[in-house]
Amino acid sequence: MLRIVSLDQAQRFITRKAVRLAEAEQIVAPILENVRKRGDEAVLEYARKFDGLQGTDLAVPESELEAAVGRVAPEFKKALETAAKNIREFAELQLPKETWFTFPDGRRLGQIIRPLESMGAYIPAGRYPLPSTLLMTVIPAQVAGVKTICITSPRPSVEILAAAWLLNEPNVFRIGGAQAIAAFAFGTATVPKVDRIVGPGNIYVAAAKKLLAGDVGIDFVAGPTEIVIIADDADPRHVAADMLAQAEHDVEASAILLTTSQSLAENVVQEVERQLQTLPTAPVAREAIMNNSAVILCPSIDAAVEASNRLAPEHLAIYDASLLPKIQHAGSIFIGPSSPEAAGDYASGPNHVLPTSGAARIRGGLSAADFVKIISVQELTFDGLSQLAPAITTLARAEGLEAHARSVEVRLGG
């Protein structure tokens, strides 16, 4: 059953659990090295061993992708179109823009935007195949203008294959785990080397991304999914449903309600238990609720916000919009009773690939900006350089870099 604890008793819930990657790193390190040395041969061996791959083809043929579209329900295709439209609209809003500024002292400064040339999207297909993650990873890259987009999934469902085809992205590979991350990082005869790898995965995928973060760009190292809800006055049915929506992902998932209301706390506990009775995913959700989740009674709403900021949750739901200015750390925020976290998971537009394990302290969710480079540009007039010369040469000589100073003076006749 979901427990109720006071804030001073809730240390283990508001202190970030360490992501246990060390053991996983030891397991995946030889896999990464083997793929680096042996390429497709090693990837194929691991795909057969871990993913149950039949045959010798790592790449999914285009004919299979096209056929998948005919096998999915019309309702799925319509839902995909709705979600894709909204995700694309939001990604376009997030894309950095080229800008230029001309200053009266002779400086013309700006930034230009250039897309990465390639990316790899990892799409989970274990207990829950996630075509929505394909949309969330591929569409921002398309908006950014990435030329080569690759998708990998260990056992892609027909919905994942159909989504890839409907997005006009045929580079799909039937591999998963650390071997897929290594293939993208190093490149093989079949799998292109990419500039950035994005998308969630299990602990072995996370460990591989961490170890290869110098060889290839990554989004972040993902841990178990999580939600924090801050509410004093809310429908307990809604709160319970949102907690269970997170808990059903994985037995390691976490769902936390921060509240000052004893009655809301008790009603949510009862609602969680009632809803579990008919939830098909109850075996997973119940374990996550029992082991990693809680209702935490706080002495004040400010104390609740402080606890949330300490946790830096992946998902944060607030029922009072006036709290927003006080929120410092969160992957994505959902405001009010009509904004369930599931809306963001699928179709409202913002990305559902979000930082976990406290990474929301340093970044937000995946966006089109992750697939571009912002390159600064500067152009100085002769007068502009002349005005800056004393500052440049003084600083250069203070650092002992005489050639820097002379590179300015030679232009000014010095």
State the chain's maximal CA–CA distance in angstroms.
84
d(C-alpha 300, C-alpha 259), whole Å: 8
pLDDT classification of 381: cutoffs 50, 70, 90:
very high
Q: How many CB atoms lie within 10 A of CB 182?
A: 29
In this prediction, residues 70-79 reach a mean pLDDT of: 97
Our answer to whether residue 252 is catalytic in this structure is no
pLDDT classification of 77: cutoffs 50, 70, 90:
very high
* φ, ψ (nearest 5 deg) of residue 203: -65, -30
pLDDT classification of 348: cutoffs 50, 70, 90:
very high
**In the prediction, which pLDDT does 17 show?**
57
**In the prediction, which pLDDT does 228 show?**
98
pLDDT at 386 over 90: yes
Structure tokens belonging to residue 289: 């609720």
How large a percentage of the chain has pLDDT more than 90? 92
**In the prediction, which pLDDT does 315 show?**
98
Q: Which of 238, 249, 315, 352 is flagged as catalytic?
A: 315
Burial of 257 (0-12, 13-18, 19+ CB in 10 A): buried
Q: Chain centroid to CA 136: how far?
A: 9
Partnered with residue 339 across adjacent β-strands are none
pLDDT classification of 222: cutoffs 50, 70, 90:
confident
Q: Where are the beta strands (DSSP E) in 234-331?
A: 254-259, 294-297, 315-318
Q: Measured between alpha carbons, how far apart are the two ends of the chain, in Å?
A: 79
**What is the enclosing helix (H) or strand (E) of 226?**
strand 226-230
**In the prediction, which pLDDT does 14 show?**
75
Contact 392, 408 (CB under 8 A): yes
Kindly give, in sequence order, each residue whose CB lies less than 8 Å from that of residue 413, ignoring residues fewer than 6 positions away: none
**In the prediction, which pLDDT does 126 show?**
76
Our answer to whether residue 249 is catalytic in this structure is no
pLDDT classification of 19: cutoffs 50, 70, 90:
low
Structure tokens belonging to residue 8: 């001073």
In this prediction, residues 50-59 reach a mean pLDDT of: 90
**In the prediction, which pLDDT does 178 show?**
97
**In the prediction, which pLDDT does 127 show?**
78
**In the prediction, which pLDDT does 414 show?**
64
Contact 228, 253 (CB under 8 A): no
Structure tokens belonging to residue 378: 């500067």
Structure tokens belonging to residue 123: 């799409």
In this prediction, residues 252-279 reach a mean pLDDT of: 97
Partnered with residue 259 across adjacent β-strands are 297
pLDDT, tens digit (0-9, with 9 covering 90-100), for 84-122: 999 999 999 999 999 999 999 999 999 999 999 999 999
Q: pLDDT higher for 10 or 273?
A: 273
- Look-up: residue for tokens 């699928």? 346
pLDDT, tens digit (0-9, with 9 covering 90-100), for 123-177: 998 778 899 999 999 999 999 999 999 999 999 999 999 999 999 999 999 999 9
pLDDT classification of 10: cutoffs 50, 70, 90:
confident
Q: What is the mean pLDDT of the chain?
A: 95
Q: Which of 25, 314, 329, 352 is flagged as catalytic?
A: 314
